[in-house]
Amino acid sequence: MHPLAERIQKQDMRALARAITLIENDDDQKLSLMSDIFSIQKQAHYIGITGSPGAGKSSLINRLLTFLRQQNLTVAVIAVDPTSPFSGGALLGDRTRMNQHFLDPGIFIRSMATRGSLGGLARATKDSIRVCDAYGFDIVLVETVGVGQSELDIMKVVDTTGLVLTPNSGDVLQIFKAGIMEIADLFIINKADLPGVGKLKSTLEEYMMIVQPKGWQPPIVQTISTESEGMDELWKNMNDHHSYLYRTDSGTERRKQQLKLEVYDLIREEIWRDVKTEIERDEQKLEVFQNPDADPYQLARSWVKEWGRKGE
């Protein structure tokens, strides 16, 4: 077994942080480490929190963390932030809204840069969730970058997705356009002390009458994160959804689909890495990039075919 995997199994927090860094850097050891990590998963509840910027996702998670710790549950938070165009790091990496939890040994908080990913998540998010699971956390919370129309990747990596909305913000129109409504396992109306809650709730109820979801009916939960209101109802509905997944065929099908998508993603990563390495070690190929009129479609097709023949 990989030494880091052994240390993580013994709940070594330094090893946990080191493993996530290794994953983010796409280290050569990543696949062997993750294969060992997979064998020691403990089936934590993976929860995604998504929604538009300004909806109060970080503040909501901050209050939810306090509530969950009162229930003696341990929690890991993977907070995915926009990427700095200069350093490549997470712009909001300090997670200042959660700083009161940094010294709690039952909570682990890690910021991740999207590094160009368009799906609202970092490429390494799924692997980092698994590492936190192997460590033994009861819950792994994932906060997406919050780019409004690019949040669909969250459904590939978590069990339960909470979509955070606020009254009178125009969120619903954007989310209808993006197709994000379909991925929500529960709707969270945050800042529920503001005017317009009734109208937003009615809109959501009308939406659910139109789409007529089969099986699980996404509940609508009202919260005021600044006052810690609604956390008990929020957690109850998250728990109910988790139980639903593990007692119905719907949950089994979701896990099968997630496995399929994950395998395809890993294949794409491996092929991309090999083809890129093959190209960059050939100076003649690199010279082609000096010609701005070169046909990118022909180059990509021919180089992938050439790479494939070398594997025969």
pLDDT above 90 covers a percentage of the chain that reads 32
Tell me whether strands 186-189 and 139-143 are parallel, antiparallel or unpaired.
Answer: unpaired
Number of helices followed by number of strands (H, E) in the chain? 11, 7
Mean pLDDT of 90-102: 57
Mean pLDDT of 65-71: 94
- Whole-number pLDDT of residue 311: 62
What is the distance of C-alpha 296 from the center of its chain? Answer: 32
- Separation between Cα atoms, residue 191 and residue 168, nearest integer Å: 10
- Whole-number pLDDT of residue 93: 46
- Whole-number pLDDT of residue 86: 41
For 60, 80, 102, 193, the CA distances from 92, given in Å and listed in that order, are 16, 9, 15, 27
b (16+ CB within 10 A) / e for 32-52: ebbebbeebeeebbbbbbbbb
- Whole-number pLDDT of residue 261: 84
- Whole-number pLDDT of residue 173: 61
- Separation between Cα atoms, residue 60 and residue 47, nearest integer Å: 13
Q: Please give the residue that has the higher pLDDT: either 297 or 312.
A: 297
- Whole-number pLDDT of residue 13: 93
Model confidence at 118: pLDDT above 80: no
pLDDT digits (tens, 9 = 90+) for 137-162: 999 999 887 654 445 677 778 899 99
pLDDT above 70 covers a percentage of the chain that reads 82
- Whole-number pLDDT of residue 89: 47
What's domain 43-247's architecture?
A: 3-Layer(aba) Sandwich (3.40)
For 35, 202, 237, 239, 248, the CA distances from 160, given in Å and listed in that order, are 24, 23, 10, 9, 14
- Separation between Cα atoms, residue 261 and residue 259, nearest integer Å: 6
Model confidence at 97: pLDDT above 70: no
Q: How confident is the model at residue 91 (pLDDT cuts 50, 70, 90)?
A: very low
Beta-bridge partner residues of 197: none
- Whole-number pLDDT of residue 172: 61
Mean pLDDT of 164-170: 79
- The pTM is what? 0.83
pLDDT digits (tens, 9 = 90+) for 172-221: 666 665 566 778 899 999 999 988 899 888 888 888 887 766 678 899 99
- Separation between Cα atoms, residue 253 and residue 241, nearest integer Å: 15
State the amino acid at position 110 in one-letter form.
R
pLDDT digits (tens, 9 = 90+) for 236-288: 999 999 999 888 887 788 888 888 888 888 888 888 888 888 888 888 888 88
Mean pLDDT is lowest, of 92-101, 126-135, 199-208, for 92-101
- Whole-number pLDDT of residue 9: 93
Report which of 228, 127, 245 is spatially closest to residue 185, judged by C-alpha positions: 245
Mean pLDDT of 73-83: 83
Give me the half-sphere count of Cα atoms (radius 13 Å) on the Cβ side of residue 128. 29
Tell me whether strands 186-189 and 160-165 are parallel, antiparallel or unpaired.
Answer: parallel
- 285 near 303, Cβ under 8 Å? yes
- Whole-number pLDDT of residue 37: 92
- Whole-number pLDDT of residue 95: 52
- What lies within 8 Å, CB to CB, of 123 at 6+ separation is 115, 117, 269
Mean pLDDT of the chain: 82
